A = this chain, B = another copy of it.
Amino acid sequence: ARTGVPEAVLCAAKSAAQIGFIVGEARARGTRLLLTRLEPEAFAALDGETRYSLDYDPLSRSAVLGGDVPTEAGAVAIVAAGTSDLPVAREAARTLAFSGHEALLIADVGVAGLWRLMARIEEICACRVVIAVAGMEGALFSVLGGLVSAPVIAVPSSVGYGVAEGGRAALHSALASCAPGVVTVNIDNGFGAACAAIKMLGIPRG
């Protein structure tokens, strides 16, 4: 797009034919493309040529057309509360990689085991932007927001049951966080968090 963020195709509600057409056009134009929310079944339903042209990752349900770009490490930390948050965390990582940023990914550091988070906190503090992914009650956002100077982008995940089902509890924890400076994106929107991080890293010098 015109705003510095990656050109992406949200595949959730598109047919195999529509996706094949979009990828074909991009290949003809020679442009790279990121595809998100492409379920394994949807990927399998694509025609062979399209499938062959894509680098598909089933965990994050994302695909890349046009190959790798050289990436630079260390700018962004992605911190996930639990193993169940990894699909969302990885969607963010893939979006960043598509734009040349190799993120530091740290998982299973939820606040119910605070010592696990504290063991990694210096690595996190060394990054320029922090993306935090958490479902359930989302307490991670406030703890991180109070410990690091970098901007913290919260991604509530839909992991949870009962009152946490669907991610609203985690979302409200992010929004109501008593740690000033925490910002939020939609539930499960790892792509959007990465886009915001890319915009932040692109802020020109003052």
Chain A positions within 8 Å of B, measured between CB atoms, are 1-6, 8, 10, 12-14, 18, 37, 72, 75, 81-84, 110-114, 128-129, 136-139, 141-143, 145-153, 156, 158-189, 191-192, 195-196, 198-206
- Shortest distance in angstroms between A99's beta carbon and chain B's nearest beta carbon? 11
Q: What is the CA–CA distance of A139 and B81 in the complex, to the nearest angstrom? A: 13
> Given A142-B139, A168-B172, A203-B203, A180 and B195 touching (CB < 8 A)?
yes
Nearest CB in chain B: distance from A168 CB, A: 7
Asked if A3 and B149 sit within 8 Å, CB to CB, the answer is yes
| Nearest CB of chain B from residue A128's CB, rounded to whole Å | 5
**8 Å CB contact of A162 from B138, B176, B200:** B176
Q: Given A139-B173, A176-B136, do A186 and B200 touch, yes or no (CB 8 Å)?
A: no
Cross-chain contact B176 with A188 (CB below 8 angstroms): no
What 4 new A-B contacts, CB under 8 Å, besides A13-B84, A139-B178? A162-B171, A164-B172, A164-B176, A205-B205
* Most interface-central of A72, A166, A189 (chain B CB within 10 A): A189
A138 surroundings in chain B (CB, below 8 A): 137, 139, 173
A73 → B minimal CB distance (Å):
11
- Report if A161-B180 is in contact (Cβ < 8 Å); known contacts: A111-B142, A149-B202, A169-B172: no
Known contacts A113-B146, A171-B163, A186-B162; A178 and B82 CB within 8 A of each other: yes
Tell me whether B198 and A1 are in contact (CB under 8 A). Answer: no
